[in-house]
Structures are given as structure tokens and as C-alpha cells.
Amino acid sequence: MSKQRRRNRTKEIAEEMDAFDVMLSALVEILEEKGILTQEEWEKRIEIKTLRATGVKKYRDIQFSSKP
């Protein structure tokens, strides 16, 4: 893959991640406004899930593994 194509793909992925970040932030704001969730609860939930995922084989690692 050429550097230009790789750079374009990297930019495309970054733009998608930015869009997901905006969508997720909007969803959390709505949940906060409705009194369903607080920012602290949200951050704690992320922390717990991140800690649990440590050491667990990631889907992308499996998907792009060169082993059959």
C-alpha cells in the first residue's frame, strides 16, 4: 500500500472516530439531561470495562490475525 493511500485511510479512520465521539458525547449528554446517568457514573463504567478488558484478546487482533 502506498504512503498516500495509507495516509488517506488513516485520515478516513480518524474522521470516523471523530464522528463516533460526537455521537457518543451527544448520547451521554441526553442521558445526563434526563437524569438517567451522571458523568461520574459514565466514567466509572468505562474504567471498569477497560480494566476487565485488559489481557482479553481483542476482536480486531483475531480478525486480522495471519493465523487461520
pLDDT per position as a tens digit, 10-59: 999 999 999 999 999 999 999 999 999 999 999 999 999 888 888 777 77
Identify whether 36 is part of a domain: yes
Q: In total, how many domains does the chain have?
A: 1
pTM of the model: 0.63
Identify whether 68 is part of a domain: no
Identify whether 26 is part of a domain: yes
| Residues of the domain holding 29 | 3-63
C-alpha to C-alpha distance for 56 and 53, rounded to whole angstroms: 5
Identify whether 18 is part of a domain: yes
Could you tell me the CA-to-CA distances from 22 to 19, 26, 27, 47 in Å, in that order? Answer: 5, 6, 9, 20
